[in-house]
Amino acid sequence: MKIVDVCAFYSPEGGGVKTYVRQKLAIGPSLGHEIVIIVPGSGHSVEHFGPTARIVTIPGKKFPLDGRYHYFDDAKEIHAALTREQPDFVEASSPWNSASIVADWPGAAPRALIMHADPLSAYAYRWFGKIFARATIDRQFDWFWRHLRRLDSRYDHIICAGDSLGDRLREGGLEHVQTVPMGIERNIFSAALRNNELRNAMLARCSLGPDATLLMAVGRHAAEKRWPLVIAATAAAGTQRAVGLIQIGGGGETSRLRREARANPHIQFLPPTDDRAALAAMLASADGLIHGCEAETYCMVAAEARACGLPIIAPDQGGAADQVKAGAGLAYLSGDPRSAARAIIRFADNRAGLRRKAQEKSGSVQNMEHHFRDLFALYATGLEKSRAA
């Protein structure tokens, strides 16, 4: 098949979506498929990743909240790109305007909406969750649920990477939801990479000794990631236990996060990295991963941490919560820094036991190749049905 992904939220300096796209470009051709990713950027360009894999950039406007990203703003450009490519199957990777544009494209190819984003959790529930129950928020944002149901009626599949989002979409009335669990690069992330010298060096960077608890946090600096919550919780727990935090990431909120940390020597920031092997070694050498965002659709970094034998401290909702349930760790009340601080203290008091449990389950994280095999098999079945109709 020739699969074309209209990917609205991609940047060469991005995080989980970038990782997913790069893996698709590598794995898709190995499974016999041609993969084309259409992304927004500053102009027209093509980047090849082999004879049957490429990223095609078309003009888009710069995203105002994060200058690393652009967004689609011209339906004609997207339609023209799809018509040039003549795909067998089309994906849209954002539930916003680009999904409607892809649905409007007059081509005959079947199509799937990949839910790389959960806007209700990222925005509505985060903004109003302390005031109203989710059912009340859903009623107030029924316009978005109606939008999702319209997309559901126009797409062959709505693809979710985890149970939390898939179940909620089904409850909201969507009928074409398919949960296709994601995976990771198992050849990179492994518990065997644990290195006590690296662990001690990271703790020393946090002005702590080897007896302290070392937490890692990885992700772009954006409001929905709730890094201020993680920083506040770590600082509060640090008044009762020796806890260090190393956060890897970058983005529009970096200056604010450094102010939130108030030069706390036990909280250190590192820039984002493309060195996946170095990231894997750091994860495997830490004591745990902490995450703040309840809006993750899968939470790839938590899955990577699980494969490295790390227990996870995460909110009790969303993709990160799914990873805690599948592995080992502790959940705290979403959006509640005091609950997160209490979880960190419990974690510090039982980190050895949690680590053993996490290592026992580290082999349960599937390889990303399995995800794409399942996904493309689903597409092939749909394509056969559409051609037979």
Burial class (CB in 10 A: 0-12, 13-18, 19+), 311: buried
Burial 263-280 (b: 16+ CB within 10 A, else e): ebebbbbbebeeeeeebb
The pTM is what?
0.86
Q: Give the mean pLDDT per block of 10 residues along the chain (389 residues).
A: 94 81 95 97 94 96 79 94 97 92 96 88 76 79 91 96 90 95 92 97 98 97 94 97 97 91 94 94 98 92 96 95 93 97 98 95 92 95 76
Classify 4 as helix, strand or coil.
Answer: strand
The pLDDT of residue 389: 64
Tens digits of residue pLDDT in 64-101 = 767 778 889 899 999 999 999 999 999 999 888 999 99
| DSSP-assigned states of every residue in 67-84 | TT-EE---HHHHHHHHHH
Compute the distance between CA of residue 161 and CA of residue 127 in angstroms, rounded to an integer: 24
Which one-letter amino acid corresponds to residue 136? T
| DSSP-assigned states of every residue in 195-217 | -HHHHHHHHHHTT--TTSEEEEE
Compute the distance between CA of residue 339 and CA of residue 164 in angstroms, rounded to an integer: 21
Structural domains in the chain, CATH included, are 2-183+367-388 (3.40.50.2000), 191-364 (3.40.50.2000)
Instruction: Report CA 193 to chain centroid distance, whole Å.
Output: 23
H or E element in which residue 344 lies: helix 337-349
Which one-letter amino acid corresponds to residue 91? E
Compute the distance between CA of residue 327 and CA of residue 180 in angstroms, rounded to an integer: 18
The pLDDT of residue 126: 80
Compute the distance between CA of residue 382 and CA of residue 181 in angstroms, rounded to an integer: 19
The pLDDT of residue 66: 73
